[in-house]
Amino acid sequence: MQPLRTRRVLDTLALLFVFAVAVGGWFYPVVGLALAGLMATAVALSVLARLGMARQRAFCNGVCPRGRALGFALKPFTRGKTLPRVFTDLSLRRGLCGFMMFCVAGSLVRALSGLEGHPAFAAAGRIFWGLCVASLAGGLLLGLLFRPRAWCVVCPMGTLQDTIAGSSRKRPANATGDRGDAAPGPRVG
């Protein structure tokens, strides 16, 4: 458990990072590539978890700025309700994850064909930025309606980590209510 002061500093940095990417990406699309870097980190940590060299959901519990920022920023505003059980359904989560990957891959292929250099980076950044904003919007909506990190239950990046690490399972309905960080779930609340 981190000291309160350290947690507050990290919470603030996470919030600033999420805000900077969400707003900055509109003006400078390459900023969206930060999300691609985070996704690559999540995949790498999940592979290490699969090999027993890292904890399950190490990315969620120690790296992800969005999860941390949602938990920090929405705490005063959330209704604190339990997420309906349907959101914990593994098929739904996998479907959402597959849909996200399909959309990203398809968009990248279409956008990058014939492009190279900075235009290619900008086009790819725009796609990841869009994904970032869409998931942030989902996170804000679920966080306000239910609990601050309710999004973490359905988050495609979380499902991807569980799938790679071999820890996929139906998440408990109350998984959005505590601040425990027991693997494989993310720290929520």
The one among 64, 122, 142, 164 contacting ligand SF4 by CB under 6 A:
64
Q: Which two tokens stand for residue 188?
A: 């929520």
CB nearer to ligand SF4: give 33 or 60: 60
Euclidean distance between CA atoms 75 and 142, whole angstroms: 12
Assess 152 for contact with ligand SF4 (CB under 6 A): yes
Cβ(160)–Cβ(46) below 8 Å: yes
* CA-closest candidate to residue 139, choices 72, 62, 90: 72
The residue range among 59-67, 75-83, 122-130, 172-180 that interacts with ligand SF4, by the rule CB under 6 A, is: 59-67
Question: Burial code of 115-133, b = ≥16 C-beta within 10 A, e = fewer?
Answer: eeeeeebbbbbbbbbbbbb
Least distance (Å) from ligand SF4 to the CB of residue 87?
12
CB of 60 to ligand SF4, least distance (A): 3
Q: Is 171 in the site for ligand SF4 (CB under 6 A)?
A: no
Name the amino acid, one letter, at 25.
Answer: G
For ligand SF4, which is the closer residue by CB, 31 or 135?
A: 135
Q: What is the DSSP string of 137-178?
A: HHHHHHHHHS-TTTHHHH-HHHHHHHHHHT---PPPGGGGS-
Nearer to ligand SF4, 123 or 157 (CB): 157
**Per-residue x/- marks for ligand SF4, 97-136, CB under 6 A?**
----------------------------------------
What is the rounded CA–CA span in Å between residue 183 and residue 63?
Answer: 14
Choice from 34, 74, 157, 175 touching ligand SF4 (CB under 6 A): 157
Q: Does 54 bind ligand SF4 (CB under 6 A)?
A: no
Pick from 92, 87, 96, 100: which is nearest to 143 by CA? 87
Task: Give the interface with ligand SF4 as residue ranges (CB under 6 A).
Answer: 60, 64, 66-67, 151-152, 155, 157-158, 186
